[in-house]
A = this chain, B = another copy of it.
Amino acid sequence: MEKVKTGIAGLDEMLVGGIPRSHNVVVMGSFGTGKTTFGLQFLNQGLTDGEKGIFITLEEDEGSIIEDARSFGWDLQPSIDDERLVIVKLEPTDALSTISRIKSDLPKFIRNFEASRIVIDSISLLNMLFDNEHEKRDNIFALTQMIRDTGATCLMTAEVNDMNPMASRDGLVEYTTDGVVVLQYEEPKDKGEIRLTLRVVKMRRTNHSRRVRPYTIGNNGILVHAGADVF
């Protein structure tokens, strides 16, 4: 089984080399856990490895995404100029036209662009475009299927349920994807420094570590401290 590196030191070791190619993986976590950074780091690793990538965003516009990456030392502009990277901004306030883009233009575009890495930041905001449970669910299934058909490795970020940090806001995507990485914000009892922790809860067709690992977000992005246990 061929693996693609996430570019996140420590995590690739936990995944015995990386994410299986063509997998569809969700990264779940509350605000401030670094989900967007995770997506950018994954994409940047692909660009470094000569792959093409698409970053689909509903939160920030292209300029902010480029700045986000630059603050970690990743320069996306050359890849954009070389047409090896496209940042697609979907408008969360214009549901009808955005849904239409998702259903018709985007699939065509993704197929034609032949990206091998796709990031969707975030599937939770994307799902908010749909009015009811049925449509949300159909969207997740259709999107997942469409991306699966392209053979690209896909990483989606997802917000978590306010009451349960081990469940996504919609409670579905963690069941339909091939892999789930959970990022958590944990407060120790002594109220000192907050800890960020990472778990690989699910990864189909490969072995993976099931340890709880601390990570930090520093000048070079996310770093999983694979040698250290939490607390």
Contacts and interface: CB of A to CB of B under 8 A. Distances in A.
Given A92-B141, A191-B197, A191-B230, A205 B175 contact: no
Interface residues of A, number: 61
Interface in A111-163: 122, 124-125, 128, 131, 134, 137-138, 141-142, 145, 159, 161-163
A108 interface: no
A2 interface: no
Q: Taking the full assembly, how many copies of this chain does it contain?
A: 6
A204 B231 CA distance: 26
A52 B128 CA distance: 36
A75 interface: no
Given A68-B205, A93-B142, A202-B32, A163 B166 contact: no
A86 interface: no
Contacts of A92: 137-138, 141
A62 to B, nearest CB: 13
